[in-house]
Structure 1
């Protein structure tokens, strides 16, 4: 089985066989989580580093009104909160979106690994910087992009992230995100999301149907979104 965490890090820094062996060993300790299961909650004391081996998850916050804001989508290969252990408590929650297999790496083990293996440390730091760049892109979308630009931009981002870890077909991606989840991520209502998805389908750019994203016209989707992939720093990935 492909270890997408290893493959993702390989894209950011050359890894020796010994590096790969240690990463595989560390991520061998995993647990299966059900759909909509919290891995950790806001206010909890930070625990181990979570690594998504299979399945999807999201970061989120619940507002005093009870509404939810999704802060990020996590797919296979993503690691959560490399340095959150420096803080006293979590400032957000992480929940599975699908059934998932999640590896847990104790922080002392991760710190020791990064100390001994500089190539792994470099790859982990680059991955964290890409996560921060993605967060800035989301803030920009929420503040300045129109609703159709927001949706198109997120679809471009998720498709490229999935393609980098070999999770896409020919212009298709299994995308287990409900319209409610998309609405919570993009600051819209599910009714509004439905209308925008219809507009994108009529425009011939993309179709999202029953958990499957089909990018009908990639160039058109990019134009609608005003998408610039620079924040994903894919040029740093190795050929």
Structure 2
């Protein structure tokens, strides 16, 4: 199975061969975006929803003073804008952070899946709930977690999410973000964010080269992060697939 959207949604329930084929057919229209290109801009509308198939993107908001807040990182399998077919315009932007390929899924197809009584519709709702759970954790980051816990939590969460789509071999995953990107995502200054990352390296919890993160001590990083993965709702996946079992083992 190579469709990351299918792999992510099968964390909720197993699909039939016909259902997998339907998702494959829905992702045949694809667009490639360069780094920093908007996949969909704040205030824009699109008749299509966008699913990340490769690369990495982010949800962001630009404030009046020009500062940027990154609200979420999007990886293969993630829907960028599931809500666009019910909204007049987007209330935030989604941009590529690396060369990124996204599938264009028609809004009507999304409506059909969400309205029908099927495993696909249920899995889409599950995906929406996990996306909201990730957003709530970022709110907690900014409101209550200290810098070290904040970055550790984000890095550990990314490990779980990459495992969900089979893209974390040897506990290593793509994370080609800059010091400024990390600061914009964590609400820290670039210097503070970088120093915190260095502390995690010095403690032997992670290794990074500017393009990837390798989690050297998953249990140790989870402890520092005080990570509780219930918000990802992976309590069923161990019954379904080997990939799901590996993801849920971290939660």
TM class by smaller structure? over 0.9
- What residue number does 1:197 align with? 197
Alignment of 1:82-231 (within 5 A): 82-116=82-116, 118-231=118-231
Counterpart-to-counterpart distance in 2, 1:185 and 1:87: 25
Contact map agreement 2:27 2:103 (CA 8 A) in 1: yes
Counterpart-to-counterpart distance in 2, 1:117 and 1:23: 16
Counterpart-to-counterpart distance in 2, 1:111 and 1:86: 9
TM-score (normalised: structure 2): 0.91
Contact map agreement 1:33 1:96 (CA 8 A) in 2: yes
TM-score (normalised: structure 1): 0.95
- What residue number does 2:245 align with? none
Alignment of 1:4-15 (within 5 A): 4-15=4-15
Counterpart-to-counterpart distance in 2, 1:16 and 1:194: 45
1:16–1:117 distance in 2 versus 1, CA, 3 Å: farther
Q: Give, in angstroms, the shift of residue 168 of structure 1.
A: 0.8
SS in 2 for 1:157: helix
Counterpart-to-counterpart distance in 1, 2:112 and 2:218: 43
Q: Give, in angstroms, the shift of residue 33 of structure 1.
A: 1.2
Contact map agreement 1:176 1:212 (CA 8 A) in 2: yes
Contact map agreement 2:177 2:210 (CA 8 A) in 1: no
Give the alignment's Cα RMSD to 1 decimal. Answer: 1.4
Q: Does 1:47 align with 2:24?
A: no
Contact map agreement 1:60 1:68 (CA 8 A) in 2: yes
- What residue number does 2:233 align with? 233
Q: How many residues are matched?
A: 239
Contact map agreement 2:182 2:193 (CA 8 A) in 1: yes
Q: Which ranges of structure 2 fall in alignment gaps of 5 or more residues? A: 242-251
Task: Tell me the alpha carbon deviations over residues 134-155 of structure 1, each in whole angstroms, 9 at most, x when there is no partner.
Answer: 1111100110000011010000
- What residue number does 2:247 align with? none
Contact map agreement 1:19 1:117 (CA 8 A) in 2: no
